[in-house]
């Protein structure tokens, strides 16, 4: 008779038991879409992949006109973080953050709720994320299934963005649009907020970390991507990816936390991009003293407001 003991635990994330079942330790606070009372931003949930029952949360600002010739608004495709295994486009953290981004940047946002590991191991999240882009492309002629995109989105002015694991996804979607961009979409930039990358070789201050932290990151990647080649797989270690030079956005903004455990890994990522031969414009900003994705938990802090201002400036640069 099995005792069903815990065989793996990532603190604060999940436990995996001897019989293969698992228990998430992180409980996502799901909130409904609707009209935000503070910003007057409107949002709604739509199913973009009926066969897999995958949704996205779409946001539109109260000011639905633009200074651009098309009089339509920039479109931001956003991917949430959570190590590929927790969180949601419907969580309070991301809902509150994107209400502010939409209001301050005057953009349309499609926030993608991709399927999570370990039930759906990678590359499922990447394929769901790409399916969302293809679904968005159905609207370029103004007759797609979602009226808000038909009416308000400028498909010649599209941006990719994400935080942590979502930043990793945005990076890979930027590479993918570089080689197979759906007809009618023009990607103008990618915004990576504390993106999640990793690798076997320790870089920067990672060699001073306690062993359990390194082990947890190795273990997490092995669980969410059991079919990969390990921590040096190109999906998680961009240094091993020869496709970097093909990033399909002419501009990139990378935001780094000064006290983030991914700090050195993210600075290394910017060096990899610079050396790759990619001929775009790379902007890198570090928020001194800030922890990983601080802007979600402390949206009213000075640095969180500055980060959103950077996003606004980056998107609305003429």
What is the set of active-site residues? 164
- Supply 196's token pair: 């999640």
Work out whether the CA dihedral 15, 83, 260, 79 comes out positive or negative.
negative
Q: CA dist 73 to 53, 229, 316, 318, Å?
A: 28, 41, 10, 13
Token pair of 114 as six digits: 């991709």
Given the structure tokens 């991709």, which residue do they identify? 114
Q: Return the CA Rg of the chain.
A: 19
CA distance 234 to 242: 8
Give the closest residue to 284 by CA, choosing from 304, 258, 261, 302.
258
Q: Which residues contact 108 (CB under 8 A, 6 or more apart)?
A: 58, 59, 60, 61, 73, 74, 75, 76, 102, 148, 149, 152, 153
Backbone angles phi, psi at 281, to 5 degrees: -100, 115
Residue that is written with structure tokens 């950077």 in the block = 310
Distance separating the N- and C-terminal Cα atoms of the chain: 67
Strands of the sheet with 281-287, listed across from one edge: 42-49, 54-60, 108-112, 73-79, 153-163, 187-193, 251-257, 281-287
Rounded to the nearest angstrom, the gap between the alpha carbon of residue 8 and the centroid of all alpha carbons in its chain is: 26
């Amino acid at each position: 008779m099995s005792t069903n003991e815990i065989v793996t635990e990532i603190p604060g994330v999940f436990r995996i038991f001897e019989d293969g079942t698992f228990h998430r330790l992180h409980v996502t606070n799901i909130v409904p879409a609707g009209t935000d009372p503070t910003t007057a931003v409107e949002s709604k949930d739509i199913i973009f992949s009926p066969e897999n029952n995958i949704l996205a949360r779409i946001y539109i600002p109260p000011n639905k006109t633009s200074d651009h010739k098309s009089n339509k608004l920039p479109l931001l495709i956003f991917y949430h973080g959570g190590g590929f295994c927790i969180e949601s486009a419907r969580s309070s953290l991301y809902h509150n953050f994107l209400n502010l981004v939409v209001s301050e940047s005057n953009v349309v946002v499609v926030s993608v709720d991709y399927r999570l590991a370990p039930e759906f191991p990678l590359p499922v999240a990447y394929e769901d994320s790409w399916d969302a882009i293809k679904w968005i492309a159905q609207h370029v002629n103004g007759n797609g299934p979602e009226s808000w995109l038909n009416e308000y989105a400028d498909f010649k002015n599209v941006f990719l963005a994400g935080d942590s694991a979502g930043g990793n996804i945005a990076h890979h979607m930027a590479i993918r649009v570089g080689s197979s961009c759906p007809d009618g979409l023009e990607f103008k930039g990618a915004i990576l907020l504390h993106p999640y990358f990793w690798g076997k070789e320790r870089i920067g201050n990672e060699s001073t970390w306690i062993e359990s932290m390194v082990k947890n990151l190795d273990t997490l990647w092995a669980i969410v991507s059991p079919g990969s080649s390990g921590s040096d797989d190109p999906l998680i270690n961009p240094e091993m990816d020869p496709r970097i030079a093909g990033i399909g956005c002419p501009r990139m903004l990378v935001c780094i936390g000064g006290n983030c455990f991914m700090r050195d890994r993210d600075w290394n990522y910017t060096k990899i991009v610079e050396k790759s031969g990619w001929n775009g414009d790379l902007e890198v900003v570090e928020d001194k003293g800030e922890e990983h994705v601080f802007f979600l938990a402390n949206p009213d802090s000075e640095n969180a407001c500055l980060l959103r201002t950077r996003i606004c400036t980056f998107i609305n640069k003429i």
